[in-house]
A and B are shown apart, each in its own frame.
Chain A
Amino acid sequence: MATTTWGWLILACPLAGTVIIGTGFRLWRGRMPGWIGTLAIGLAFVASVGAFFSLRNHPVEHRQLTSSLWNYAVTGGIDAKLQILVDPLSVFMCLVVSGVSTLIHLYSVAYMGSDRGYARFFGYLNYFVFSMLLLVLAGNFLILIVGWAFVGAASYMLISFWYRRTTATRAGIKAFVINVVGDVGLVLGTYFIFRHSHTLDFLATFKQAPTLGASHHGALVAGMLLLLVGAFAKSAQVPLHTWLPDAMEGPTPVSALIHAATMVTAGVYLIARMHPLFEHAQAAATVGAIGGCATLLIAATIALVVTDLKRVIAYSTMSQIGYMIMGVSSGAYAAGLFHLMTHAFFKALLFMAAGSVIAAMANEQSLDRMGGFRRAMPFTFACFIIGGLALSGVPPFSGWLSKDEILAFDATRGGAWWIFTVLGYLGALMTAVYTFRMIFRAFLGDPVPEALELEHGHIAHVEPPRNPATGEEEDTDVGFPGPEHHIAEREWPMKGAMGALALLATVGGLIQIPKVDNAISRFLEPAFGDSRFTHLEPSTAGAWLGLVVGAAFGLIGIAIAYRIWVQNPGFATRLRERVPALHRFLVNKWYFDEAIDLLFLRPATAFGRFAQSTFERLFVDGTLVGGTTGIVRVGSAAVRSLQAGLVRYYAAVLLLGLTVVGLYFLIQSS
């Protein structure tokens, strides 16, 4: 089978899943929709594997294959086609996305088991995976934009999945609005590029990259900066990150899928995909790297103080995406994508484990109320530890190898790029601290009542159910979470998915060990072969030194966390009291929400009010709408009584118009 046929199959499976689940939702009973959805994504993964092997049969220089299904509009300077590009990069992304998504679907089959919107959930979930795969397989800017917008819409639907919860709908709207800002950036950026390249096709555009960089450098940089706006909004990078923590209102599998493994990596993919253009617009690439670095530090500091279990992981996601954005922006493409892969494994694992804990706590997410789950949930605890070690970069877990490869590359690039390496290690230290703060607070210490109850075999329930964020009373009908809670210890699909991810998080990094196997770099070579940074490779000694330093920072961080939260339980409180201003600053998330509110929302609202009170009420309502309908009303009254008068009025306007037009032409004639 042709390689591109596999590519179309990758797209067809989740689409078929969406349609089958969506149209037959009345027919499906029990967990049927979940299994259909899992099967559809599983088949997409199989197709990705097929594409992978098929691609390897091609000679290295012919591994970028395009296929278009039909021409949407191919006329006068526009070449809009339904076109996919199957190359090592897109196949790599497909493998990660569909592979991790399959496991998340499997987990959701059990986790969402009692929810009244079960079929709807899997319909959305399949649609989301379809959109994401469309995004990564896109062969031209048009399909990229379509996939990009679909992903935004799908994430809105999934975050607001419990649509009767006001907090969830508000979070969904926030995510959607910020994503639309990114969409606008992406579309405008595309326009800037298209204006000079005259083609939407990726490969044709990339061929022109050197000439574009030389002749239209300003436009290219502007276009790339606008693309970065898109990438930053989708990947939750500062200052367009505020939607991600709020998005934790969605069901936990959604957090795992969207906010760990797939959607937020779209920005990383975009930069990697556009690397030929970015390399000729170094200013934009530098902005990207600085943004990524700033995000990784800011997010890590916030994660140190946040008390909501899922939000800690969310900020950690932002921080890790920051590493990837920094990596691909500075030219470490393979390293950035390698980290993307390992991060997908361990972060999905952490979210799933967190979901298990939250279920045991009857939807309570606050770390302040958790503790001592070690004995009650040994499997979840083990998964959390594995995910945490991988995230902290402790050998031999996967995050250790991938994160340090990015930092080693920046060090090799030299010059000011050294700063990124240093700040990256600082971020790594904080990562270890906040990760293990979370683990120690949730699992060690004295068991809370919920943990004790679970040790006796009962899962905690709150009657009536409440919104954990606001305490509002809820019911368990559709639009709210279901009545039952499911934990990994009791549900084999959850256990299976987490076990597989735990295995991958442990050994997944070993496929790319510096100077040993480099499997990912070699596979991605055809996609990034044209890069001017291919020759930049850290020396063996440097690479291993980096790994040792990274491991040391990870262990030191864990030790610090152990001292603060296990050995000296009161120390954290004392620390907080000693620097209250700093703590307030971090707890308020660096006041980004407030700054956006002050800078954009308030002026816009004020302007809107002003415009409504003056322009709209007086001019539009009064003069335009009121005026015309008034004339019409007066006119139709006149029709009945005085018909000749009205026609005379028409004729008068006709003559007036004629006079104006005639005068214009007469003035032109002289």
Chain B
Amino acid sequence: MILAAAHLKGPHIDWRSLSPLLALAGGGTLTLLVGLFGSRFVRAVLVPLLTIVAFGAFVGLSIWRFHHSASIVAGALRMDDLAFVLDLLLGTAGIATVLLAWRSRAVEEAGHGELHALLLFSVMGMAVLVSAQNTITLFVGFELLSIPLYVLCASELRTEQSLESGLKYLIVGSVGSATLVYGLALIYGATGSTDFGPIGQAISSGSIATDPLLLTGVALVLVGLAFKASVAPFHQWTPDVYEGAPTPITAFMAVATKAAALGIFLRFFDVALIGTQDTWGPALAALATVTIIVGNVGALGQSSLKRMLAYSSVAQAGYMLGGVVVGTQLGVKATVFYLAVYLAMNLAAFAVVVARERETPWRDDIRSVAGLGASRPLLAWPLTIAMLSLAGIPATAGFIGKIYLIDALVDGNYAWLGIVIVVGSMISLAYYLRVIAAMWMREAPEATPPVPAVRPAMAGAETAAETTRYPELAIVALVFGAASVVLGIVPGPLFHLVGHAGKAFGGLF
């Protein structure tokens, strides 16, 4: 046996192309180990710094490998420009999350080393997922991103809501994973291959495009991925989990998980299953419509900012699904473009929510931002811009993103879905503008917390705590808020970048 094993030839590995993933794996291991040191400085400063360095290396190596498309590890991973652009987004989201989580309760309770290592491994899962070119890698990436997230959601160990959120995510997430793996198995059964390329060839060459086995598999995969991208009606976990999870983790899930899920949507449906686009296109379009309606209507009545942003992220997932539906290069470009602007505007919004959560007794209630325009303009402006951009007001990045998506939809003969996007955006104005109105037109509420948790003797200490400012949060808010405007006024460079990502799928029109 041992001898036989020795004769097995391992696949050739192109280490240079694999290097972005290695940076994350190495960083994760290192932070976990360094986090064991007792020194407060090492834990609270060095570990986050190391994590940022690891993310920086990940981004840097991705940029280095740009334009060097390669299928590596025996075709299991495809490191092309689409993967690199998405890696860029994932790395940015990771860095922002580290900044948001720095000095947060979650990081204190769960331990610096642990939390940051989990974060790095989760991003690695996402990076594997968006590069997956094989159903096995797809599933490995999917689980590698999910399992750390389950733990991260529960990282505020002493908060009941956080634990509940983690548990709920785990249970419902397992159903999603099971569905996905079942679907992948059926597709393997129908096509006889686990590689995307051969699956695609089998579908386009043979007569199995309408094979019940294959299509059942497609249906199950669709549901499994829809779950992760929080596409209605597989989104119900989203508001609960987003609300319960520590806010930095919520921000991370909102932007990074979405980028990864849509990345694999693009890769799996536009490469492996493109031959059955006539079949899954309408189904996906219908799901997108339901998602846009459910997300936007659900957000209307929310008073919790995190819940509102959760529903908003459901609606935005519906918009982005439009780029997948059409199965064209333009659709890929539009989706990636929107993912980038979605990252900017959501991170800006979440940074402000995190800041206000720490500064006011209102937690993430909309009252926490009331009167912000007068008291903290540096936080109010990024949130205003983020809300306007999410709503798609002209001269913001969200507007260009939506125009691009609608352009792709019209081009791909799904103009009606473009109209749904416009209608959805109109509804969304109601809840986005409500936040802006609260910031600029309402007075800050009396600083009495909803639950009388502060004893009179603590009043002095409470004031001292309130004066603690979090410059890193303001910086994240300002940087991404500025990006939401700049990309709306000068979208050229981003167009250029996503143009390369779109060309990664040479087979598409």
Contact = CB atoms under 8 A, between A and B. Distances in A.
Contacts of B234: 654, 657
Interface in B199-244: 210-212, 214-216, 218-220, 222-223, 227, 233-234, 236-237, 239-240
Contacts of B210: 668-670
Nearest to B495: A75
Contact of A664 (B168, B283, B300): B283
Prevailing SS type, chain B contact patch: helix
Interface stretch (A17-25, A515-523, A623-631): A623-631
Contact of B164 (A76, A628, A639, A653): A639
B297 interface: yes
B374 interface: no
A110 B295 CA distance: 56
B166 interface: no
B400 interface: yes
Interface stretch (A65-73, A217-225, A245-253, A311-319): A65-73
A239 B215 CA distance: 59
Given A651-B172, A657-B223, A669 B164 contact: no
Interface string B163-186: 010001001100110010000000
Contacts of B489: 72
A439 B218 CA distance: 83
B236 A650 contact: yes
Given A662-B216, A665-B216, A632 B223 contact: no
B456 interface: no
B448 interface: no
B300 A625 contact: yes
Interface residues of B, number: 43
**B179, B219, B233, B279: residue with the most chain A Cβ atoms closer than 10 Å:** B219
Contacts of A661: 219, 222-223, 283, 287
Interface string A630-670: 00100000010001001101110110111001101110111
B236 A668 contact: no
A666 B283 CA distance: 12
Nearest to B172: A650
Contact of B239 (A624, A632, A643, A669): A632
Given A71-B492, A632-B239, A665-B215, A643 B301 contact: no
Contact of B219 (A70, A76, A654, A665): A665
B499 interface: yes
A420 B480 CA distance: 60
B490 interface: yes
Nearest to A651: B175
Given A72-B491, A661-B222, A656 B233 contact: yes
B233 A647 contact: no
A554 B470 CA distance: 76
Contacts of A606: none
A669 B223 contact: no
**B220, B239, B301: residue with the most chain A Cβ atoms closer than 10 Å:** B301
Contacts of A658: 179, 219-220, 223
Contacts of B214: 669
A654 B236 CA distance: 9
A632 B279 CA distance: 34
B330 interface: yes
A581 interface: no
B359 interface: no
A662 B164 contact: no
Contacts of A647: 168, 171-172
B298 interface: yes
A66 to B, nearest CB: 19
B463 to A, nearest CB: 32
B215 A668 contact: yes
Contacts of B490: 70, 72
Nearest to B240: A639
Contacts of B499: 75
A207 B301 CA distance: 53
B472 interface: no
B433 to A, nearest CB: 16
Interface residues of A, number: 32
Nearest to B168: A647
Interface in B485-509: 489-492, 495, 499
Contacts of A629: 301-302
A243 B266 CA distance: 52
Contacts of A72: 489-492
Contacts of A670: 210, 212
B298 to A, nearest CB: 5
Given A628-B301, A629-B301, A665 B279 contact: yes
A281 B407 CA distance: 29
A665 B297 contact: no
A74 interface: yes
A653 B236 contact: yes
A654 B175 contact: yes
A628 B232 CA distance: 14
A441 B216 CA distance: 88
A398 to B, nearest CB: 41
A575 B171 CA distance: 90
B228 to A, nearest CB: 13
A664 B297 contact: no
A148 to B, nearest CB: 14
Contacts of B237: 650
A665 B491 contact: no
A657 B294 CA distance: 14
B212 A669 contact: yes
Interface string B24-43: 00000000000000000000
B42 to A, nearest CB: 38
A146 to B, nearest CB: 10
A643 B172 CA distance: 13
A662 B215 CA distance: 8
Given A74-B492, A669-B210, A628 B298 contact: yes
B297 A628 contact: yes
Interface in B269-302: 279-280, 283, 287, 297-298, 300-302
Contacts of B298: 628, 632
Nearest to B299: A628
A349 B300 CA distance: 54
Contacts of A646: 168
Contacts of B287: 661
A669 B301 contact: no
A653 B172 CA distance: 11
A668 B279 contact: yes
Given A624-B297, A629-B301, A73 B491 contact: yes
Contacts of B215: 665-666, 668-669
Contact of B495 (A73, A656, A662): A73
A76 B408 CA distance: 10
Interface in B434-459: none
Contacts of B172: 647, 650-651, 654
Contacts of A71: 492
Contacts of B168: 643, 646-647, 650
A526 to B, nearest CB: 33
A75 B407 CA distance: 11
Nearest to A661: B219
B164 A643 contact: yes
A473 to B, nearest CB: 29
The 10 lowest CB-CB distance pairs between A and B, nearest first, are A629-B301, A665-B215, A665-B219, A657-B233, A669-B212, A669-B215, A662-B219, A668-B279, A650-B236, A661-B219
14 contacts: A70-B492, A71-B492, A72-B490, A72-B492, A73-B492, A629-B301, A629-B302, A647-B171, A653-B236, A654-B175, A654-B234, A662-B219, A666-B219, A670-B212
Given A651-B172, A658-B220, 13 more contacts: A629-B301, A632-B239, A639-B164, A647-B172, A650-B168, A650-B236, A650-B237, A654-B223, A661-B219, A661-B222, A662-B223, A665-B215, A669-B212
Interface of A: 70-76, 624-625, 628-629, 632, 639, 643, 646-647, 649-651, 653-654, 656-658, 661-662, 664-666, 668-670
